[in-house]
Amino acid sequence: MCIPSSSIPPGLEGRYREFETELKHTRPFYFDTTKNLRHDLVTHCLTTSVTSAIDAKHEAVFGLALYGLGNFIENNFYRSGVSVNARSMLRTLLETYLTLAYLAEKSKTEPTIWDEYRMYGNGQANLVYRKFEENNFQTSSLKPEDIEAIANEDKWVEFVPINLGHWDNLDLRKIAEIVGEKPLYDKFFTYTSGFVHANWAAVRESQYQKCLNPLHRLHRIPSFDLPVMGSATNDMVEIVNKILLTVDELYPDFKGRLDFAPANKDITDNEEDEESETKDETSSKPDQTGDIAAEENTNGEA
C-alpha cells in the first residue's frame, strides 16, 4: 500500500498555511493597493499623451505597463499565486519587463524601434487571421474578426511584413544582457520555461508526490489534489516594480510602486482569531483542499 508524502506532517501543511496567508492577508492588501495604482497609471498615461494620432512609443510603454500590472491583478483576483498558472504568468511578466527595458534602451539610438515592435505585433495578428481564414478555424478563445480588426487598426498595415522571427531578431537572453538584467533572467527564465513548455521538472513538481512506503523505493504517485506550490506573488511584485520604474524613466514622474504585502505574518498570531472566524475561514479555503482525506483513502487502496 502506498503512503503518500502529503499525508505525513508537515507534508503539504506548510504550503496550505502559505496559501491561507495569501488568501487572508495578501489578497485583501493588493485589492486596495492595485486599484489605486492602476488608476494612477491610467491617469499618468492620459496626462502624458500628446496626440490622438499613432504614438507607438507612448502606447507601447503604457500598454506594456498595464499588461504587466494587469497580469499581477489577475493573479491576485483569481488567487492563483500558488498555482502552475502563476509560474506561466511570472514568465510573461519577465518577458513584459525585458521587452519594455530593451525598447527603452534601444530607442536611445534607434527611435523607430517602437514602430518596429508595433509592426511586428500587427504582422502577427495578420498571420493569425490568415490562418483562421484559410483553415476555417473555430476557437473559443478568439473570434477571427477581432484579430482582423487589430491587424488592420493601423493604416500602414498593408505594408506590414510578416516577420516570423522576433521583432528585433534577438532572443530573450541577449535582450537581458543588453539591458543589464542577466541575473534577473537567470533567476526566473529557466524555471518558468519549464511550466510553459511542460518540461518534466515542472510536471514532476506540480503533479507528483513521493510514496513513503519503504518497500516501494520512493516511487512517485500522483498528487491527490491541484498543486499548492510556493507563492509567486512576491516575485511578481519585484518584476512589476521594475516595469513601473521604467515607465517613470520614460515618462517622469511616476512614483507608484507595489509594496510587499505585510503578510507572511506568523500564522500563530492569528490562531486566536481563527476560532472566531471559523465561518470565513471555511468559506475562504480553496475548493480543492476539502477532499484530500477522502481521496487518500481511495488512492491508498489502489
Interface with Zn ion (CB under 5 A): 2, 211, 213, 216
Helix, strand, or coil (residue 228) = coil
Tell me the CA distances in angstroms from 84 to 13, 166, 249, 271, 285, one per residue in order. 18, 26, 33, 29, 18
* Nearer CB in complex with Zn ion: 7/48: 7
State the minimum distance, in angstroms, from the CB of residue 184 to Zn ion.
Answer: 40
* Nearer CB in complex with Zn ion: 216/257: 216
Using CA atoms, how far apart are residues 100 and 77, in angstroms rounded to an integer? Answer: 25
State the minimum distance, in angstroms, from the CB of residue 220 to Zn ion.
Answer: 9
State the minimum distance, in angstroms, from the CB of residue 218 to Zn ion.
Answer: 9
Contacts of 69 (CB under 8 A, 6+ apart): 34, 37, 38, 41, 240, 243, 244
State the minimum distance, in angstroms, from the CB of residue 213 to Zn ion.
Answer: 5
State the minimum distance, in angstroms, from the CB of residue 204 to Zn ion.
Answer: 16
Cis omega (within 30 of 0) for bond into 10:
yes
Helix, strand, or coil (residue 14) = helix
Using CA atoms, how far apart are residues 75 and 270, in angstroms rounded to an integer? Answer: 24
* Nearer CB in complex with Zn ion: 2/151: 2
* Nearer CB in complex with Zn ion: 183/214: 214
The closest of 100, 115, 51 to 240, measured between CA atoms, is: 100
* Nearer CB in complex with Zn ion: 1/42: 1
State the minimum distance, in angstroms, from the CB of residue 199 to Zn ion.
Answer: 24
State the minimum distance, in angstroms, from the CB of residue 226 to Zn ion.
Answer: 21
* Nearer CB in complex with Zn ion: 2/82: 2
Q: What share of the chain is helix, strand, coil (3-state, %, to 5)?
A: 65, 5, 30
The closest of 28, 33, 26, 22 to 69, measured between CA atoms, is: 33
* Nearer CB in complex with Zn ion: 108/217: 217
Contacts of 106 (CB under 8 A, 6+ apart): 113, 168, 178
Contact 247, 10 (CB under 8 A): no
